[in-house]
Amino acid sequence: MRFIDRTILPSDITPQAVFENRRSLIKAAAAGSFGRALAPWFSREALAANPEKLNVQLNATYSAADETTPYKYATTYNNFYEFGTDKADPAANAHTLQIKPWSISIEGLVKKPVTLDMDALLKLAPMEERIYRMRCVEGWSMVIPWDGFSLSKLINKVEPLGSAKFVEFISLADRKQMPGVKSNIIDWPYREGLRMDEAMNPLTLLTFGMYGETLPKQNGAPVRIVVPWKYGFKSAKSIVKIRFTEEMPKTSWSQFDAREYGFYSNVNPQVDHPRWSQASERRIGDGKGVFAPKIKTQMFNGYADQVAGMYAGMDLKKYY
Ligand SMILES: Nc1nc2c(c(=O)[nH]1)N[C@H]1C(S)=C(S)[C@@H](COP(=O)(O)O)O[C@H]1N2
Ligand SMILES: [Mo]
């Protein structure tokens, strides 16, 4: 047995076609349409994993005109190394993540350090939907409707001290729930960070859902960060801690290889990764896989109007 607390997978006891249809099955079950004939794998835990509908309205100001990536791809082609390094691993393995109860502890250089549970977090501001382009450092991209609100709403509540220059985001790292944490590919817990002005930029989204529903576990349930003008790895999933610091935080990826993964990691077609070009990208989900035509990557992933000012005068080749 590979994992502790492994729950029974629907694939263990149901035909493949049913497994593939699990999402709609779970929904039907939650809606009560199965009556008393629930399959044995509809444990409380399975139902807790069921995406719940969110009450969100599209915010047109922050919405890409690009065609939205089908839900199927956004939820089965993932990077979430805590659940394995293969793109299919998170969707297959993340069911062991316990998302209820959940809280984020807010620490460091703030006037009001506090631990906020999900109810308290959700009360901070009304949720809205924003369609963001997401660009992975590996050269693929997606267009995802995220549901949440600007991280600034939370930051304002805790009143950072004048000495706070950076914000660090720390993901859960629990070997019992996350099989990938047993490997030492990166230094756990997964840690990311932003400069204070980046964290306060209205684009930076404290994210609770996608496609109008709560986040699937493989996408970082129950709460994550989304920073659309930076490479995807800056958007830390399943966060449990936010820390305000004076020094630039040491992030997991820059510790893994500082030359390949800088702190800023702004999407920049003119600054190549040491091992590959960043000039173009492939949109996931058009059915053509690696044969999909490449499209040009845009400076700041197309968000230059909103973010370029924060980097005025900075050498972006040096501060990559
Ligand atoms: N905790 C944690 N957060 C993470 C990662 C990870 O491995 N662990 N992968 C990052 C990378 S490389 C990408 S591209 C995005 C992918 O987010 P998505 O699967 O929701 O599209 O999550 C980021 N956040
Ligand atoms: Mo990524």
**pLDDT value at 167 more than 50:** yes
Ligand 2 midpoint to CA 231 (Å): 6
Q: What is the predicted pLDDT for the residue at 64? A: 86
Q: How far is CA 115 from CA 103, 173, 260, 296, in A?
A: 7, 18, 34, 42
Ligand showing the shortest atom-to-Cα distance for residue 142: 1
**pLDDT value at 169 more than 90:** yes
Place of tokens 């077609």: 269
Residue identifier of the C-alpha nearest atom 8 of ligand 1: 80
Nearest-atom number in ligand 1 for the CA of 190 is 1
- Chain segment 179-206, per-residue pLDDT in tens: 999 999 999 999 999 999 999 999 999 9
DSSP E strands, the chain: 57-58, 103-108, 114-117, 128-135, 140-150, 166-171, 191-195, 205-210, 213-214, 224-226, 239-245, 280-283, 295-296
Interval 278-284 mean pLDDT: 96
Nearest-atom number in ligand 1 for the CA of 238 is 1
- Chain segment 111-132, per-residue pLDDT in tens: 999 999 999 999 999 999 999 9
Q: Please, how many CA atoms are within 13 Å of residue 5, restricted to the half-sphere of its CB?
A: 13
Greater pLDDT, 285 or 172? 172
Q: What is the pTM of this model?
A: 0.86
Q: What is the predicted pLDDT for the residue at 72? A: 94
Closest CA to 107 of 56, 153, 170: 170
**pLDDT value at 8 more than 50:** no
Residue identifier of the C-alpha nearest atom 21 of ligand 1: 78
Residues with CB under 6 A from ligand 1: 78-82, 134, 136, 171, 190, 219-220, 232-233, 235-238
- 156: pLDDT confidence band, cut at 50, 70 and 90? very high
Other C-beta atoms lying within 10 Å of the C-beta of residue 299 = 16
Ligand 2 midpoint to CA 140 (Å): 8
What are the structure tokens assigned to 103, written together?
């809280």
Beta bridge partner(s), residue 171: 239
Residue 140: strand, helix, or coil: strand
- 295: pLDDT confidence band, cut at 50, 70 and 90? very high
Q: What is the predicted pLDDT for the residue at 28? A: 39
Ligand 1 midpoint to CA 31 (Å): 31
Rounded Cα distance, 45 and 47, in Å:
5
- Chain segment 11-61, per-residue pLDDT in tens: 333 333 333 444 444 443 443 333 333 333 333 344 346 789 999 999 999
Q: What is the CA radius of gyration of the chain?
A: 19
- Domain segments of the chain as ranges: 12-311
- Chain segment 221-240, per-residue pLDDT in tens: 999 999 999 999 999 999 99
Q: What is the predicted pLDDT for the residue at 19? A: 36
**pLDDT value at 10 more than 90:** no
**pLDDT value at 3 more than 70:** no
Q: What is the predicted pLDDT for the residue at 291? A: 73
Ligand 1 midpoint to CA 111 (Å): 30
Q: What is the predicted pLDDT for the residue at 50? A: 77
Report cis status (omega within 30 of 0) of the bond before 145. no
Q: What is the predicted pLDDT for the residue at 244? A: 98
Question: What architecture is domain 12-311?
Answer: Alpha-Beta Complex (3.90)
Residue identifier of the C-alpha nearest atom 10 of ligand 1: 233
8 Å CB contact between 168 and 60: no
Rounded Cα distance, 267 and 301, in Å:
5
- Chain segment 245-266, per-residue pLDDT in tens: 999 999 999 999 999 999 999 9
Nearest-atom number in ligand 1 for the CA of 180 is 7
- Chain segment 141-151, per-residue pLDDT in tens: 999 999 999 99
Q: What is the predicted pLDDT for the residue at 117? A: 98
Ligand 2 midpoint to CA 193 (Å): 15
Rounded Cα distance, 263 and 24, in Å:
40
Q: What is the predicted pLDDT for the residue at 37? A: 34
Residue identifier of the C-alpha nearest atom 5 of ligand 1: 80
With the most atoms of ligand 1 within 8 angstroms of its CB, the residue from 69, 76, 79 to mutate is: 79
For the chain, the average pLDDT equals 87
Largest Cα separation within the chain, whole Å, is 65
Q: What percent of the chain has pLDDT over 90?
A: 80
Ligand 1 midpoint to CA 37 (Å): 37
Ligand 2 midpoint to CA 280 (Å): 15
